[in-house]
Amino acid sequence: MARTPLNLPDFPWDALVPYGQIARTHPDGFVDLSVGSPVDPTPEIIRETLAAATDSHAYPTTTGTVQLREAIVEWFARRRGVTGLTIDHVLPTIGSKELVALLPMLLGLGKGDVVVHPSVAYPTYAIGAALVGATSIAADDPAEWPENTALVWLNSPGNPDGRVADVAQLRAAVARARELGAVIASDECYAELNWIGQDPAPSILDAEVIGDDRSSVLAVYSLSKQSNLAGYRAAFVAGCSALISELLAIRKHAGLIAPGPVQAAMVTALHDDAHVAAQRELYRARRAKLLPALERAGFTIDDSVAGLYLWATKNEDSWQTVGDLAHSGILVVPGSFYGEDPARHVRIALTASDDTIADAVARLELLA
């Protein structure tokens, strides 16, 4: 039987390797502002919980412990203003990327179906469509979503651009998805890192968006950013109970189960707001130093009102900007990785130590 290979694009980060090599030759060292991976320690309170749960001799459950599901429900009410959820509306996942990539498959999508995602977006939304032979379309305006749309991805706050959708925009997106009979899923993992106000960014599950009707609506969340748990692969999905039940049934068969110690650690992370507030202020301080330094060096910062990145441009080809910064020992990511066409922006991460940010600011001052 002939095997049909998946028609996947080249892994974009491979194209960045030569620029990383240039940046690493800088006499004052390498400043990596490319990958948004946390650099600060995992909070001790969470690590202690993980250590106490390491006698995990029995199989964990795919659905998650009752304690974890209750913690997710309570967190949504306390931090996101989302009420009315029960443990039947939530499900832990092994990080959020696996769910983003697998959701079209878990929903039974295939050839002839359309997956819509933001015009400038994390590439895994399109990869998930490609894995099942569906068509991905980049479109921000709900009026442009075609009749055969089966899944809509929103991303607010956005990666890479840090754009936040307000309640009216979320409401319009949900209304159009329902008109099309599509599932709509909102990737909200940067919601606690909102630089405009003290409150998290709005959730698609907020009653102001969907009223009391959660049908065909999902919110995806990760603790990687707010709790420095990227290595734990700790995330969850919430919303329509019928969809959650469907996802759970398939994930049971596939063995997609969050490890028991990680589930215990998630409970502690979700109940403790203090470490999240402290981490937010670390990123806020780094942003306050890096953003004006970029502006003095001739960059314009667009959007970037939430999340872990600055969406910056010199109004030139993004690869030119990547190359120029690499010669200063700084590695950033071109907008072409996120579908920007023409690519004029670069994504600059705030996930670097205070010393590294200070080093970046000093080098940018030389470019001013």
Rounded average pLDDT over 104-108:
97
Pairing type for strands 330-331 and 234-239 reads unpaired
- Sequence-distant (6+) residues with CB within 8 A of 133 are 110, 111
**Contact status, residue 248 vs residue 91, Cβ threshold 8 Å:** yes
Q: What per-residue confidence (pLDDT) applies to 6? A: 66
Closest CA to 217 of 202, 205, 235: 205
Pairing type for strands 234-239 and 90-94 reads antiparallel
Q: How confident is the model at residue 13 (pLDDT cuts 50, 70, 90)?
A: confident
The tokens of 177 are what? 């998805």
Distance CA 203, CA 213 (A): 14
CA angle 122, 197, 211 (to 5 degrees): 75
Domains belonging to the chain, first-starting first, are 14-41+275-367 (3.90.1150.10), 56-271 (3.40.640.10)
Q: What per-residue confidence (pLDDT) applies to 8? A: 72
C-alpha 155: how far from chain center = 7
* Amino acid identity, position 338: Y
For the segment 319-351, what is each residue's pLDDT rounded down to a tens digit? 999 999 999 999 999 999 999 999 999 999 999
Rounded average pLDDT over 142-153:
97
pTM of the model: 0.94
Would you list the DSSP string of 57-115?
A: -SPPPTT--HHHHHHHHHHHHHHH---S--GGGEEEEESSHHHHHHHHHHTT--TT-EE
Q: How confident is the model at residue 2 (pLDDT cuts 50, 70, 90)?
A: low
Q: What per-residue confidence (pLDDT) applies to 4? A: 56
Pairing type for strands 333-334 and 330-331 reads unpaired
The tokens of 56 are what? 């995990």
Average pLDDT over the chain, rounded to an integer: 95
